[in-house]
Amino acid sequence: MQLSHPYQAADEQINGRWASELIAELPERLSTRVLELAERQPQQEAIVDGEVRWSYAELAEEVRSATVWLGSLGVRPGDRLMTVSENCRALVVLLLAASEINAWLAIVNSRLSAKEIDQIRNNCEPRRIFYTTAVSRDASAHGARHGAETFQHTSLGELMISPLADTVTEPVHASGAKQVAAMIYTSGTTGTPKGVMLTHRGILYIASISGGMRHLSQGQRVYGVLPMSHVFGLASVCVGSLYNGACLYPVPRFEAPALLKALVEERITVLQGVPAMYARVLEYLKQQGTALEAPALIYISAGGSPLDGDLKRRVEAAFGQTLHNGYGLTEASPTISQTRIDDTPTNTTVGRVLPLLEYRLEPLGSTDTEAPETGELWVRGPNVMRGYFRQPEATRDCLDNEGWLNTGDIARVDASGELHIVGRSKELIIRSGFNIYPPDVEAVINEHPEVTLSAVVGRQVAGNEEVIAFVQCEPGATLSEDELRAFIAERVAPYKRPCEIFLVDALPATATGKILKGRLRQQAQENRSHG
């Protein structure tokens, strides 16, 4: 494609209807369609959470009663609410009830460290925080720390609820393109978490178009193990399932035996995961010496981190079907492209750009003669975020005045219109679907009194990336790797912790003192291949 020339992805048929028609009928709020489906298919199963099974009529009843309950807790239109949570029915109901009363819901993974949760709380300034303690011990610990009270909800299970905070409300917009539905926090390269403001229309565009492309519909049973605190789990899995009348199985944590059991007993039809999840399923099957049983499964896809070609082939052999792939980022609600359900790509393409989205490739500063058609990918469409909450400079850095979002990723588009992600212009590490920014981890390591300097890089492993730290200590320091690990463990979430730490005399640097991360990445990779 011609670099920097904007293109618009073509309209296309999805389940016999044009994408443009589906977009034209998007409601203004996330909750609208679910409440309509309660009238249209009242007895159809909507949510299966452990022993609890709700029909669409029952889910709608829970959402309506939760809106009254939130009002009694002092929640007003325009308020921000926050959940410290893992996947469960309570989280789904809070999301839909917040939509009904025009409140925003910031969904935060309870597995983050105390420091990370507190930074997010301080930026978000929520009216109330809800902790899903019935499914998460981590949520209980954060709730106790914040002085929250335990509440036994008759149908949502045990929760903890923070005291009411004196906060300023946001303006309420009738238009779903302006009204924020949810905030997902991403760690910034500054080390300060950024609240990505996702609109009702943006999330619904993904639910309708991306969900429709997976043939989500009444009767499909979707395994919801991707965290709703991650936009893939929120928009694509949770809202995608419920918008299209399917049944969602919210699962707090991934465990291979539980998934394999659900595939058989619950006859799961749709499975979405990150590459590392599929790798663990294959590992478990091998350990058990058994073949996969998935009698009703019709669609599997990977996202959230780069898909390794070898893993794709092994998963397809075990599952007997195509492992679909896609690409996106939190700021795009998240999907920008995905392979279509009838495609059977043998490479790791991330598919074609979603219908009617605009995209362009900006030439890179360096001239790569090997790949002249690559460039930095920019996109524009209804799924692009409103911006970062209360961080106008960070917003301006990636979102221009005309609504174009700089993905920060280097891409190319082949002759058949397939998108390929070549690399990342940022140093982002994606581990098991979670975004890790090296400066965040480096800042923690550098807090240790015996550390002079550190550099964190990603190391590619099958279907995933590992966090590798190179640490330069003070002269004469006696710091051991184990001591440093314990120090880090107290301060960052488990998925951000380095898999390997190299204590070095000096980090390689330029004359101006800039650390040569490319050399360290190479060294990390070589150490693995030699190890």
Label residue 475 exposed, middle or buried (CB < 10 Å: 0-12, 13-18, 19+). exposed
Distance separating alpha carbons of residues 129 and 396, to the nearest angstrom: 29
Q: Residues 250, 495, 489, 469: what is their CA dihedral angle, to the nearest 10 degrees?
A: 180
User: For 8-17, 411-420, 439-448, 467-476, which range has the lowest pLDDT when averaged over its residues?
Assistant: 439-448
Average pLDDT over residues 400-410: 93
State pTM to two decimals: 0.84
Tokens of 224: 């919801």
pLDDT of residue 368: 39
The residue ranges of every structural domain in the chain are: 429-530
Label residue 298 exposed, middle or buried (CB < 10 Å: 0-12, 13-18, 19+). middle
Tell me if residue 280 falls in helix, strand or coil.
helix
Strand 247-250 with 270-273, pairing: unpaired
Distance separating alpha carbons of residues 150 and 330, to the nearest angstrom: 32
Average pLDDT over residues 84-106: 98
pLDDT in tens, 261-293: 999 999 999 999 988 789 889 989 999 999 999
Higher pLDDT, 348 or 491: 491
The amino acid present at 420, given as its one-letter code, is: H
Label residue 117 exposed, middle or buried (CB < 10 Å: 0-12, 13-18, 19+). buried
Count of H helices and E strands in the chain? 17, 29
Fold annotation for 429-530: GMP Synthetase; Chain A, domain 3 (3.30.300)
pLDDT in tens, 483-526: 999 999 999 999 999 999 999 998 887 544 567 888 899 999 98
Distance separating alpha carbons of residues 421 and 413, to the nearest angstrom: 9
pLDDT of residue 333: 98
